[in-house]
Amino acid sequence: MREYTNIYVDGAWIPSEGTDTIDVISASTEEVIGRIPSGTAADVDKAVAAARAAFDGWSTQPVEERQKYIQRLQEGLDARGAEIAETIAGEVGMPITWSQMIQAGLPSGNMATFAALLDDFEFEETIGNSLVVKEPVGVVGAITPWNYPLHQIICKLGGALAAGCTMVLKPSEVAPLNAFILAEIIDEIGLPAGVFNLVAGTGPEVGEAIAAHPDVDMVSFTGSTRAGKRVAEVAAGTVKRVALELGGKSANIVLDDADFADVIPKGVFACYLNSGQTCTAHTRMLVPRSRYEEAVEIAAGAANAMVVDDPFTEGMHLGPVISQSQWDRVQGYIETGIEEGARVVAGGPGKPEGLDTGYFVKPTVFADVDNSMTIAQEEIFGPVLSIIPFEDDDDAVRIANDSLYGLAGGVWSGDPDRAMAVARRMRTGAVDVNGGGFNIAAPFGGYKQSGYGRENGHYGIDEFLQTKSLQL
């Protein structure tokens, strides 16, 4: 049980102006494992004032000094990596083996990357008689999700600190405990007071106050498209900059010359990682009609072979989804898929056998899916795969792009040139070509209703900078 009674503002742990608290529920046991303050708009006012007061000093620090703090923060994340992995395994339900690699490992790796990038990042250039300088945007309000909670915080915090910005963070109230560990690390390394501030609470209270605040210069939000639209709407009142990383319904195109026995199971896993609670999950598998039943059979076999188990059991299995409301949402989509005529070939409604406690979902595969169906158009955020037939490469691209979203995708082919040709035509922010791995130094972000702005690498620093030209 982790209980936090204070928020972190201006370099100190202080009581919230509110009196309410929020319970943090274990995804696997359904028990209370933590408690945090439910912050208020008055808390946001204090945090923003602290960030504003700290901005001039932090933004004018030599780059080498900012870099040292980022390096210390990375070292602190490493030192508490096991604790972070265990905490997130409890909050989110990602199995501990994966949590160690992803939920704890990626944030540390990202922070190290931001530090390294500052070795030669160009903050100014000369164009003719003009000196063009990149300056920090100011006070950043960060609103982050629960599925990869610390990773998404670090994507914003690392880039903002490197750029010279100060920050007010509202982590997800569903998985907030890792953010408090981060604040403890920040306090321990002596980051100047006010550079980082943590106000826990709900979106309607704390999130809206951050988005609306006149002294917040930029809001960086990761979450659902519905919530992102609201953030943009509220932020428009003060014409502040907004970066949005939203939902996805990514297509994984398997061309007819691919090795189905090898790539179809990999495609299933690309849908199911983190129990499908991944914005980039490849939830639509597009396969040639000529080999459709073969693909369905392989995918069903891969799904049926997936082990679902306690997240604190070592191994490469799946854990639960995060909450009762998320479990209900996923079950609703499975029922809708059946009602609309899709064929369940693996999984289906209900919980896996022997896992009655916890928010566990059967890894599910739907065949006979038309791209117009609800399960092919809406983000489910659970381990549910839809397999859709196509006629040829042009038809595959058409189906892949027939979506409100454009965050990620994949393409598999025995011919690398053919795979690249298809990948270039996909209207999405990232494409895995023949299983290319995630690159924390490459830009991450979406097209269409998957949002705008980019995180990671030098793009993730640029996001928090604005340009000024000095005519000489």
> Which residues, 6 or more positions from 201, have their beta carbon under 8 angstroms from its beta carbon?
16, 18, 22, 37, 38, 39, 40, 43, 170, 173, 207
- Residues of the chain scoring pLDDT < 50: none
Does the pTM surpass 0.75? The reply is yes
Please give the pLDDT value at position 434: 98
Q: Where in the chain is the domain with CATH 3.40.309.10?
A: 251-441
Which stretch of DSSP H or E encloses residue 182? Answer: helix 177-189
Please give the pLDDT value at position 152: 98
Please give the pLDDT value at position 404: 97
Q: Which residue numbers are catalytic?
A: 245, 279
How many other CB atoms are found less than 10 A from the CB of residue 282?
A: 26
**pLDDT one-digit tens code per residue, 271-280:** 999 999 999 9
**The domain at 251-441 falls in which architecture?**
3-Layer(aba) Sandwich (3.40)
Please give the pLDDT value at position 297: 98
Please give the pLDDT value at position 64: 97
Concatenating the DSSP letter of every residue in 307-366 gives: -B--TTS-SS-B---S-HHHHHHHHHHHHHHHHTT-EEEE--SSPPTT--SS-----EEE
Looking at domain 2-246+450-471, does it have CATH number 3.40.605.10? yes
Q: Where in the chain is the domain with CATH 3.40.605.10?
A: 2-246+450-471
Q: Rounded to an integer, what distance in angstroms lies between the CA atom of residue 226 and that of residue 101? A: 30
Q: Is the dihedral of CA 245, 85, 159, 217 positive or negative?
A: positive
